[in-house]
A = this chain, B = another copy of it.
Amino acid sequence: MADRFIATYQVRAEASAIAARAAEIAVEQSVEMPLAAIDAPDILRDIVGQVANIAELAPGRFEVRIALSCATAGADAGQLLNMLFGNTSLHDDVILVDAEFPPAILAAHSGPNFGLHGLRARGKIGRRALTCSAIKPQGLPPAQLATLVHRFALGGLDFVKDDHGLADQTYSPFAARVAACAAAARAAGGTTRYVPSITGTQDAMRQQIRIASDEGIDTVMLAPMIAGLANMAALTREFPSIAFFAHPSLAGAARIAPPLLIGRIFRLLGADAVIFPNHGGRFGYTPSTCRALAEAARGDLAATRPSVPVPAGGMTLARVPEMLDFYGPDVMLLLGGSLLAAHERLTEATAEFTAAVARHEYKEGVLF
């Protein structure tokens, strides 16, 4: 089965119907036509999806594993998603919950340029958790965003990223914002990296990376589900000296399990850090989903570098110790609005955050 990859779906069905439903999914995700209309025996043998296993999880709910041909996915990241869930995403009785990739697929996707260890080494961060905040609200002009970068940097953060709503708007054009924010980070005299959000077409993102690079920036953020998966993978290869943060915007809309999409697939496509909604914040992910996502992002995956999981979405200083106990030090903590709410005390609140991360003593038994 080295020439097959495994897609695992959760399917709602009656017990009497699941075998037929599984066979339908195997066809839908491969040849997408009646098998009786296929004359070629090699296609029936090598290309048509195969039902590898069906297991009942609960009455009316099944786990279905389908073995799909690696040749159909090829080396293109978008095509991989197309074959994993393209048409089946149109069926609301199915969720894509997992995927297993053989060496042929893994070798086609190079993963992060830096990843967890590279980001640590580049920033001389040691073994503590990494720290991050975000500049917002959108609507502010570049000079005011740059002031926020400067004050965050004085508080000792590793990264200050653009809010994911910042694009190339008239009130804050990309080039002007990046120049101002990069200068502000430098002026703080520390090691804080400003991380601009890149948007638009492959051409536009490429141009934005060049602008950022000219300002001495070595880390950018994009939203893979908006940017296009193939574009993301191509940009990470075109710019091997740049680290990429992946933002989950629009990634929740697809009924693909977050550990697979945000953890494993975004990592495979080259995300050095993957941002996701932490449990207990503004979003509904459970602790077990978050743990599985973190494990998918940084656990073993052939020779692919681990990504840094970045739990976020309404996190506060008060939650820092609990989050560090939950995730261990191989994590990046991202506090945004709760730091910005400190207004004129922004630098001090940021310093409290970075100090809390630096001095945290991990309990015994932390998994990672």
Residues of A within 8 A of B (CB): 24, 28, 30-34, 36-40, 42-43, 46-48, 69, 71-72, 74, 76, 78-79, 81-83, 85-87, 89-94, 136-140, 144, 163-165, 167-171, 199-204, 223, 226-231, 234, 248-256, 277, 282-285, 313, 336-338, 340-343
B32 touches A254 (CB 8 A): no
In the complex, which of the residues B34, B200, B341 contacts A37, with contact meaning CB atoms closer than 8 Å? B341
Interfacial chain B residues near A43, Cβ < 8 Å: 137, 139-140
Q: Given A139-B42, A165-B82, A230-B199, verify A90-B33 contact (CB < 8 Å).
A: no
Q: Given A86-B226, A86-B250, A249-B89, verify A337-B34 contact (CB < 8 Å).
A: yes
User: Looking across the interface, which residue of chain B has its beta carbon closest to that of A83?
Assistant: B165
User: Looking across the interface, which residue of chain B has its beta carbon closest to that of A46?
Assistant: B139
A203 touches B202 (CB 8 A): yes
Interfacial chain B residues near A28, Cβ < 8 Å: 282
Seed contacts A43-B139, A78-B199, A79-B200; 17 additional CB < 8 Å A-B pairs: A30-B138, A31-B165, A32-B163, A33-B136, A33-B337, A39-B343, A40-B137, A43-B137, A69-B139, A81-B226, A90-B248, A92-B252, A92-B284, A226-B228, A253-B254, A253-B255, A254-B254
Q: How far is the CA of A163 from the CA of B248 in the complex (A)?
A: 29
Please give the distance in Å from A5's CB to the nearest CB on chain B: 14
Please give the distance in Å from A171's CB to the nearest CB on chain B: 6
B139 touches A231 (CB 8 A): no
Q: How far is the CA of A36 from the CA of B340 in the complex (A)?
A: 9
B137 touches A31 (CB 8 A): yes
User: Looking across the interface, which residue of chain B has its beta carbon closest to that of A144?
Assistant: B40
A277 touches B90 (CB 8 A): yes
In the complex, which of the residues B31, B34, B202, B223 contacts A139, with contact meaning CB atoms closer than 8 Å? B31
Interfacial chain B residues near A230, Cβ < 8 Å: 199-201, 204, 226-228
Interfacial chain B residues near A33, Cβ < 8 Å: 136-137, 163, 336-337, 340-341
Q: Given A227-B228, A231-B231, A250-B85, verify A283-B90 contact (CB < 8 Å).
A: yes
Interfacial chain B residues near A341, Cβ < 8 Å: 33-34, 36-37
Interfacial chain B residues near A168, Cβ < 8 Å: 74, 76
B255 touches A167 (CB 8 A): no
Interfacial chain B residues near A199, Cβ < 8 Å: 76, 78-79, 82, 230
Among A47, A86, A277, the most chain B Cβ lie within 10 Å of the Cβ of A86
A164 touches B82 (CB 8 A): yes
Q: How far is the CA of A39 from the CA of B147 in the complex (A)?
A: 14
Interfacial chain B residues near A89, Cβ < 8 Å: 249-254
Please give the distance in Å from A185's CB to the nearest CB on chain B: 20
Q: How far is the CA of A76 from the CA of B200 in the complex (A)?
A: 6
